[in-house]
């Protein structure tokens, strides 16, 4: 495997673990705010981001790359509103999308077709991640200060359940 692509993917593993840590911080924020559905949504995101990191690790290992795990930065832990949290989710997912796109660009430049194929799953996943965050922001905008609407959304988000797919 090309060293430039391997290094970028190894760095992305760290970014995925940071993402998991960020979503766990958001989960704790909503636990503290007594919003169990939103807390659940963030916890499911935490699990999903861990899966992403593990999927990348497995791929790198299958290509003979030893990954050195780096320190994970402390995430933000306080937000002023529900809207601010979900706006942070969208901004963070856009950052992850950009990072994965950059790795794909490196893989194209290096003619690393296996990695290009592998990354397509993550590119599709990022489309879904950004769409989910955007939809939740739009719902929060519609709800505004309506407490009943907020409770209904919280109840809906409590139903989310991430089931880890079998890693290919």
- Output the CA angle 59-63-64, nearest 5 degrees: 120
Domains parsed from the chain with CATH numbers = 3-157 (1.20.1260.10)
Q: Please say whether the beta carbons of 17 and 72 come within 8 A.
A: yes
Least confident of 97-106, 147-156, 158-167: 158-167
Q: What is the pLDDT of residues 17-58, one digit of tens each?
A: 999 999 999 999 999 999 999 999 999 999 999 999 999 999
How many Å apart are CA 83 and CA 67, to the nearest integer?
36
State if pTM tops 0.85. yes
């Amino acid at each position: 495997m090309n060293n430039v692509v391997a290094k970028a993917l190894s760095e992305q593993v760290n970014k995925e673990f940071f993402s998991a840590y960020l979503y766990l911080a958001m989960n704790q924020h909503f636990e503290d705010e007594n919003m169990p559905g939103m807390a659940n949504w963030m916890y499911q995101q935490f699990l999903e981001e861990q899966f992403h990191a593990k999927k990348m690790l497995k791929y790198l290992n299958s290509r003979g790359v030893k990954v050195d795990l780096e320190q994970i930065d402390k995430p933000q832990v306080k937000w002023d509103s529900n809207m601010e949290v979900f706006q942070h989710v969208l901004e963070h997912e856009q950052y992850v999308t950009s990072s994965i796109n950059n790795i794909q660009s490196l893989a194209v430049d290096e003619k690393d077709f296996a990695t290009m194929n592998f990354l397509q799953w993550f590119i599709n996943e990022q489309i879904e991640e950004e769409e989910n965050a955007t939809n939740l922001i739009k719902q929060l905008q519609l709800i505004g200060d309506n407490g009943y609407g907020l409770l209904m959304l919280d109840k809906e988000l409590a139903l989310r359940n991430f089931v880890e797919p079998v890693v290919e």
